[in-house]
């Protein structure tokens, strides 16, 4: 695991204890859920599509994607590098009532070599793989798309939910943090996560390029109905969520 990925693992393990405890975090999760749910038809998910179908919730965290889209799939698997996030995911999954419960494991498909535990057939041939709010935390996003595409069945789809570019905001946060630490010492109640962000958002052209390079077709891209608000280490910010889909050749 690279030093950057290790920093993500550590930061999200620590964040897990307060994940979804603050009103703005709950509002953001509810927004992801609602926006994902309203895109079921756009993704071709229908009441009849669930028989034998498989969902991969990659960088699953506590399972926002699983909760929003899980009812459309028979088999649901989550993967995350943070052990604490995986524990929260599996605790929530234990409460679910379907025939087959969702299961998440600790793993990293993006490192070389990949986690050995993800080598089996159980971790292949997904109908849909989704990365929600994880893509801007990955070291090499183009490579991440390729690694996820390898896990799709022919004709399967990749969906990435992330944010439009927010570079100014990250720069502002870094500067404010430096100032705060210099004058007052760290004091705000949300941890600084700027060191876990490799790319400050993506635009449609960048996403289309990643998807085309990975051989995906039927590219689709759209934005959430409203901006998303977050209360980060140094104050309130607004970001725009996007949804990017593409299909592996049949
Ligand atoms: C902002 S959270 C999003 C979690 C969840 N998908 C959601 O929407 O609430 C980002 C997640 O990405 C995970 N992550 C970061 N780098 C990863 C990697 N290389 N492989 C798997 N998971 C990773 C983190 O541990 C964290 O749980």
pLDDT, tens digit (0-9, with 9 covering 90-100), for 189-216: 666 777 777 788 999 999 999 999 999 9
User: Tokens for 211?
Assistant: 């998807």
pLDDT, tens digit (0-9, with 9 covering 90-100), for 210-224: 999 999 999 999 999
Least confident range of 150-154, 161-165, 195-199, 223-227: 195-199
138 lines ligand 1 (CB under 6 A): yes
* CB of 70 sitting under 6 A from ligand 1: no
For atom 8 of ligand 1, which residue has the closest CA? 132
Check pocket membership of 132 for ligand 1, CB cut-off 6 A. Answer: yes
247 phi and psi, to 5 degrees?
-120, 140
- pLDDT level of residue 26 (50, 70, 90 thresholds): very high
Tokens of 15: 């964040």
pLDDT of residue 243: 98
Q: Is 89 in the pocket of ligand 1 (CB under 6 A)?
A: no
Fold of 3-247: Rossmann fold (3.40.50)
Residue extents of the structural domains in the chain: 3-247
Angstrom distance (rounded) from CA 61 to CA 7: 16
Q: CA angle 15-4-135, nearest 5°? A: 70
Closest ligand 1 atom to Cα of 57: 6
List residues bridging with 238 in a β-sheet: 229
Query: What does the pLDDT read at residue 179?
Result: 59
């Amino acid at each position: 695991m690279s030093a950057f990925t290790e920093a993500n693992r550590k930061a999200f393990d620590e964040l897990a204890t307060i994940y979804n405890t603050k009103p703005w975090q709950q509002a953001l999760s509810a927004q992801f859920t609602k926006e994902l749910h309203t895109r079921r038809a756009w993704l071709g998910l229908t009441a009849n599509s669930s028989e034998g179908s498989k969902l991969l919730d990659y960088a699953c965290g506590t399972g926002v994607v699983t909760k929003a889209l899980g009812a459309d799939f028979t088999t649901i698997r989550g993967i995350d590098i943070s052990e604490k996030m995986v524990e929260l995911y599996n605790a929530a999954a234990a409460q679910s009532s379907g025939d087959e419960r969702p299961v998440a494991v600790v793993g990293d498909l993006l490192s070389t070599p990949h986690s050995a535990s993800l080598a089996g057939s159980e971790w292949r041939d997904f109908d849909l793989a989704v990365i929600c709010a994880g893509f801007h935390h990955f070291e090499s996003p183009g490579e991440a798309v390729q690694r996820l595409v390898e896990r799709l069945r022919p004709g399967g789809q990749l969906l990435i939910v992330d944010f439009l570019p927010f570079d100014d905001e990250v720069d502002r946060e870094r500067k404010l943090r430096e100032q705060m630490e210099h004058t007052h010492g760290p004091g705000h109640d949300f941890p600084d996560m700027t060191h876990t962000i490799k790319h400050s958002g993506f635009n449609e052209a960048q996403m289309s390029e990643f998807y085309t390079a990975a051989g995906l077709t039927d590219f689709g891209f759209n934005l959430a109905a409203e901006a998303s608000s977050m209360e980060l280490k140094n104050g309130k910010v607004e970001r725009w969520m996007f949804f990017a889909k593409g299909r592996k050749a049949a």
